[in-house]
Amino acid sequence: MRITIAGAGAMGSRFGLMLHKGGNEVTLVDGWLEHVTAIKEHGLQANFNGEEITAHLSVELQSNISSEEKTDLIILFTKAMQLDKMLQDIKPLIAEHTKVLCLLNGIGHEDIIEKYVSKNNIFIGNTMWTAGLEGPGKAKLFGNGSVELQNFIPGEEETAKKLANILSASGLNANYSDNIHYSIYRKACVNGTMNGLCTILDTNMAGLGATKPAHDMVVTIVKEFAAVAKHEEVNLDIDEVVEHVETCFDPETIGLHYPSMYQDLINNNRLTEIDYINGAVSRKGKKYQIATPYCDFLTQLVHSKEELLKAK
């Protein structure tokens, strides 16, 4: 299967590497020149569960995509604010049969994807895998994860199940979901609590979980997400979601992970996805006349920190 990873940073590298090891013909596409050059020259290097490995993957700069290279499956793994430009740049890869799977964190990416891809070819989901980059061409990958995905419109269930099987055959532990909007909101609650709070408090998930106010903050934020989701006919089970979020505190599993927002702002001085997570809930709250004070405040705090650090 010809698979293109559109956005080959930390997560794109993980998925690209695992799908390549699983025997697929994988091409990484990215806009970061130093990263693309490093992979071209030395292969994708990774510390993969403690072992140093190198994978010689095909890689292209997104501004160099030509119209002859149609692909079977595109997995989108940009940061949310890079998604529209990526889709514009990879238009030549999209044939009539090309499936597009979006696994970004955050809510509402389908509004952008629909501008470039016919609805029957769009698949949406989320992932509990994690990843980090140590520098251009070098990924750090540890722990376990899973993927949930579904067809965007009815009628493509069998294809969605096949896609899940393709990912699972490479160890990505993917499952078809019959209620992906629930699953996306449930994962957004993980990011809506961990990402902003760890970034502001300068800690990893285990560190946040070890503080006394963590539980109350998690409950309050999850309730805000749930109130907004309810307006979209997604009825989150608040207690279950809080429990799910709090499993991430465990230092024996993924508690030592610094969320991608922390990696962006604190490690790399980059702008964050806050507007697509807590900021999205704040905007929806205003539209639906639901108060979301913790999401509003956390969004403002992260934006202030972006300004103070002159993030780009």
Q: Which positions lie near ligand NAD, rule CB under 6 A?
A: 7, 9-12, 30-32, 35, 77-80, 82, 104-105, 127, 130-131, 133, 260, 268, 273
Give the SS3 label for residue 304: helix
Q: What Rg value do the Cα atoms of the chain yield, rounded?
A: 19
H-run or E-run covering 226: helix 214-231
Does residue 28 contact residue 44 with C-beta atoms inside 8 Å?
A: yes
The region of 42-50, 111-119, 254-262, 297-305 touching ligand AOT under the rule CB under 6 A is 254-262
CA 271 to chain centre: 15
- Supply the minimum distance, in Å, between the C-beta of residue 225 and ligand AOT: 15
Q: Which CB sits closer to ligand NAD, 128 or 290? A: 128
103 is a contact residue toward ligand AOT (CB under 6 A): no
Query: What is the C-alpha separation between 219 and 208, in angstroms, rounded?
Result: 14
Minimum distance from residue 219 beta carbon to ligand NAD (Å)? 23
Q: Is 287 a catalytic residue?
A: no
By a kind-dependent CB cut-off of 5 to 8 A, residue 31 interacts, out of ligand NAD, ligand AOT, none, with ligand NAD
- Report which of 126, 140, 143 is spatially closest to residue 191, judged by C-alpha positions: 126
With b for 16 or more beta-carbon neighbours within 10 A and e for fewer, the 200-234 pattern comes to beebbbbbbbeeeebeebbbebbbbbbbbbeeeeb
- Using CB atoms within 10 Å of the CB of residue 61, give its burial: 0 to 12 exposed, 13 to 18 middle, 19+ buried: middle
- Beta strand pairing call for 51-55 and 44-48: antiparallel
31 binds ligand AOT, rule: CB under 6 A: no
Instruction: Please tell me whether residue 194 binds ligand AOT under the rule CB under 6 A.
Output: yes
What is the rounded distance in angstroms from the CA atom of residue 220 to the CA atom of residue 225? 9
Size of interface with ligand AOT, in residues (CB under 6 A): 12
Which residue type occupies 66?
Answer: S
> Which entry of 79, 99, 138, 187 is annotated as an active-site residue?
187
Give yes or no for residue 272 binding ligand AOT (CB under 6 A): no
CB of 96 to ligand NAD, least distance (A): 26
121 binds ligand AOT (CB under 6 A): no
How far apart, in Å, do the first and last CA atoms of the chain sit? 36
User: Residue 310: how many CB atoms within 10 A of its CB?
Assistant: 7
Among the listed residues 150, 146, 155, 147, the one whose alpha carbon sits nearest the alpha carbon of residue 179: 150
Site for ligand AOT contains 59 (CB under 6 A): no
Q: Which does 254 bind (CB under 5 to 8 A by kind): ligand NAD, ligand AOT, none?
A: ligand AOT
Say which DSSP state 187 is in. H
Nearest approach, Cβ of 155 to ligand AOT (angstroms)? 30
Among 253, 259, 245, CA closest to 204: 259
Determine if 24 is a binding residue for ligand AOT (CB under 6 A).
Answer: no
Residue 27 or 207 with smaller CB distance to ligand AOT:
207
| Closer residue to ligand NAD (CB): 230 or 270 | 270
Give CA–CA dist 234/276, Å, rounded: 18
| Contact status: 254 vs ligand AOT (CB under 6 A) | yes
128, 219, 256, 311: which one binds ligand AOT (CB under 6 A): 128
To ligand NAD, the closest distance from the beta carbon of 46 in angstroms equals 13
Q: Which residues bind ligand AOT (CB under 6 A)?
A: 105, 128, 130, 190-191, 194-195, 248, 254, 257, 259-260
Active site residues: 187
